[in-house]
Amino acid sequence: VSDVSGGLLMAARFILVTSGVGMFGWASFALYASWAPRPRAPAAIRALAPLAAATAGVVWIVGLAREAVGAPGLPDPSVVLSLCLETGFGRALAAAVLLSLLLAVFALSPRRPPMRAVAYASGGLLTSLAFVGHAAGVSGVAGGVRIGVMATHLLLAGVWLGGLLPLALALRTTGAETGRLLRQFGNVALTAVAGLVTSGMISAAVILGMAARPPGPVYLTAFAIKLALVAALLGAAAVNRWVMTPLAARNPTRALRGLRWSLAAEQFLALALLAAVARLAQLDPGM
């Protein structure tokens, strides 16, 4: 894959995964913390994530068709259509684009959409992405298990990382309920992190243990960067859970001041982590 195409595919993957994580996190937060205030942004901002996801999905499909053909310029539309219909990852990406468009319709509707429907659509989007990448390389029961593990990993990432933004926004107006919201998010996030670490370890063991060649320095460096970002994120989450949450019970004002910074840091680290994952997914472990 050329550098330009590789960069484009990586950017498309990053935008699609990040949008999916954000939308699923938002919907699941609205379901388990339905009592918390949820300010509604203008339609243009609400539609930003699903439209960015749909665009990234189309760019991803066209980029893969271009790579598959191996010729410069835009691929023939019939090749793009054939990729969407005849390959497993093409069908998965086409489904992701359609679900993104459905989510855009939800976002643009004047009434609040049913959050359960948003959760199903955004969860379906994240699940479809498990079919595009290293986990989809093998068929049969083993392939099904790998895709299942990857889908679980993506959904749990959505619950945790995608829940950070709605949490930060809700904390602006929760007042005396700050401690309750933090405890609720903390319990959900803790469960999600446990599942994320487990599914991540299984995926890493499978990829590294079954790679065609021993892991190379480029892949190992990218993997180490991902692990460092995961460690930093867990550190920030631990501060929120075991320092800020008890502080919120005693002194909500002081806790909120600290939380503004720690949640912003956590979201920044989450974006960096998703970028590192997009890079890792493009690499051959043997590199």
Partner 1 sequence: MRHLAFIAALLAAAMSGQGALAHAFLEAASPKVGGRVADASEVRLTFSEPVEPAFSTISVTGPPGFAGAGAAKPAGPDHRTLAASLKAPAPPGRYLVHWRVLSRDSHVTQGSFRFEVGR
Q: Which is nearer to partner 1, 141 or 176 (CB)?
A: 141
Give the whole-angstrom CA distance, residue 206 versus residue 87: 23
Nearest distance from C-beta of residue 55 to partner 1, angstroms: 18
Q: Cβ closer to partner 1: 92 or 248? A: 92
- Three-state helix/strand/coil letters over 124-151: HHHHHHCCCCHHHHCCHHHHHHHHHHHH
Instruction: Give me the least distance between CB of 161 and partner 1, in Å please.
Output: 22
Place of tokens 């459905």: 102
In whole angstroms, the minimum distance from the beta carbon of 202 to partner 1 comes to: 5
C-beta of 39 vs 217, nearer to partner 1: 217
Q: How far is the CB of 90 from partner 1 (least distance, A)?
A: 8
- For the CB of residue 113, give the shortest distance to partner 1 in the complex, in Å: 31
Q: Is the CB of 81 or the CB of 169 nearer to partner 1?
A: 81
* Minimum CB distance to partner 1 smaller for 146 or for 241: 146
Lookup: tokens for 35: 């009592």
| Interface with partner 1 (CB under 8 A) | 1, 64, 67-70, 82-83, 86-89, 132-143, 145-146, 149, 198, 202, 205-207, 209-213, 284-286
What residues contact 24, with CB distance under 8 A and at least 6 apart? 119, 122, 123, 125, 126, 155, 158, 159, 162
Q: Which is nearer to partner 1, 72 or 209 (CB)?
A: 209
Question: Does residue 182 contact residue 248 with C-beta atoms inside 8 Å?
Answer: yes
Residue whose structure tokens are 């499909």: 61
Residues in CB range of 247: below 8 A, 6 or more apart:
254, 255, 258
| 4 CB-contact burial (10 Å; exposed 0-12 / middle 13-18 / buried 19+) | exposed
Report, in Å, the least distance between residue 208 CB and partner 1.
Answer: 9
